[in-house]
């Protein structure tokens, strides 16, 4: 199975700042990485797939980069609604696997 | 509005069985592959199984193969998963999700249903 190592576990930032979340795969997953946001009382929201493709309806302050084994989600100019849990998921092979999550909190 | 709603969770004893269901609305269920996932408290998300549009193909994670069975009833807009031989480590929130035409990514998820395995 492809192990996904996500960092940091916790992240605190203020509105207006930029943050980055990293995801490292245990083997080459080419470009096939997705990012999701999870908030209490809401369903998981797809943000990015294929490493850098922005899902329809997602603000352009979200961006993804990387290939092979190393990927990054960057959120520029944080908005209050951006705080929550973020997960990466490799979609290159089965079993699909996820990172352990990053909790983005308000500083 | 695209919506997935899970039901059927609850408390079950070790070794017991339970069926969780996922009801779809706002889209044509028969056109989409549906997956199940789970998330234990303080744990990440674990993929469990998928079922193709016409039920021809199913695929399971090794941790649940032989114990969980996924099925679908397109006319009823429902995808079920029968959970059997349950263990304490199966305690988790269970989610269904719709796969996008681009493989293995998910643009719509349910809110989840809690399954607790305990004596």
pLDDT digit string, tens, across residues A31-72: 999 999 999 889 999 999 999 999 999 999 999 999 999 999
> Do the Cβ atoms of A44 and B46 come within 8 Å?
no
Residue in the block written with tokens 């090794």? B62
> Do the Cβ atoms of B109 and A44 come within 8 Å?
yes
Q: Which of B47, B107, B111 sits opposite A95 (nearest CB)?
A: B47
CA A28 to centroid of chain Cα atoms? 18
Contact B12, B18 (CB under 8 A): yes
Q: Percent of chain A having pLDDT more than 70?
A: 100
pLDDT of res. B4: 98
Q: What is the pLDDT of residues B1-59, one digit of tens each?
A: 999 999 999 999 999 999 999 999 999 999 999 999 999 977 789 999 999 999 999 99
Chain A residues whose CB is inside 8 A of the B111 CB are 41, 43
Give the pLDDT band of residue B79 (cuts 50, 70, 90).
Answer: very high
Give the pLDDT band of residue A15 (cuts 50, 70, 90).
Answer: very high
Question: Could you tell me the two tokens for A58?
Answer: 């997602």
Q: What is the mean pLDDT of chain A?
A: 96
pLDDT at B108 exceeding the cut of 80: yes
Contact A19, A78 (CB under 8 A): yes
Whether B68 contacts chain A with CB within 8 A: no
Dump strand ranges (E) for B2-77: 3-7, 10-12, 18-25, 34-39, 45-51, 58-60, 68-73
- Tell me the three state secondary structure of residue B27: coil
Question: Could you tell me the two tokens for B65?
Answer: 């193969």
DSSP state of A27: S
Q: Percent of chain B having pLDDT more than 70?
A: 100
Q: Is B49 exposed, middle or buried (0-12, 13-18, 19+ CB in 10 A)?
A: buried
pLDDT at B74 exceeding the cut of 90: yes
Instruction: Give me the phi and psi of B90, to 5 degrees please.
Output: -85, -5
Q: What is the mean pLDDT of chain B?
A: 96
């Amino acid at each position: 199975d492809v192990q996904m190592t996500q960092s940091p576990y916790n992240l605190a930032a203020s509105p207006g700042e930029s943050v980055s979340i990293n995801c490292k795969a245990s083997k080459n997953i080419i470009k096939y990485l997705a990012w999701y946001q999870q908030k209490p009382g809401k369903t998981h929201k797809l943000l990015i797939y294929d490493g850098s493709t922005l899902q329809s309806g997602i603000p352009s302050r979200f961006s993804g980069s990387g290939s092979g084994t190393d990927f990054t989600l960057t959120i520029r100019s944080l908005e209050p609604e951006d705080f929550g849990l973020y997960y990466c998921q490799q979609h290159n092979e089965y079993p699909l696997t996820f990172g352990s999550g990053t909790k983005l909190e308000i500083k | 509005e695209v919506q997935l709603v899970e039901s059927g969770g609850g408390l079950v004893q070790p070794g017991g069985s339970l069926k969780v269901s996922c009801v779809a609305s706002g889209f044509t269920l028969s056109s989409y592959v549906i997956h199940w996932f789970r998330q234990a408290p303080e744990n990440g998300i674990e993929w469990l199984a998928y079922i193709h549009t016409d039920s021809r193909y199913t695929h399971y994670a090794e941790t649940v193969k032989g114990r969980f069975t996924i099925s679908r009833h397109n006319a009823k807009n429902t995808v079920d998963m029968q959970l059997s031989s349950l263990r304490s480590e199966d305690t988790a929130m269970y989610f269904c999700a719709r796969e996008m035409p681009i493989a293995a990514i998910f643009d719509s998820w349910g809110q989840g249903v809690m399954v607790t395995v305990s004596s």
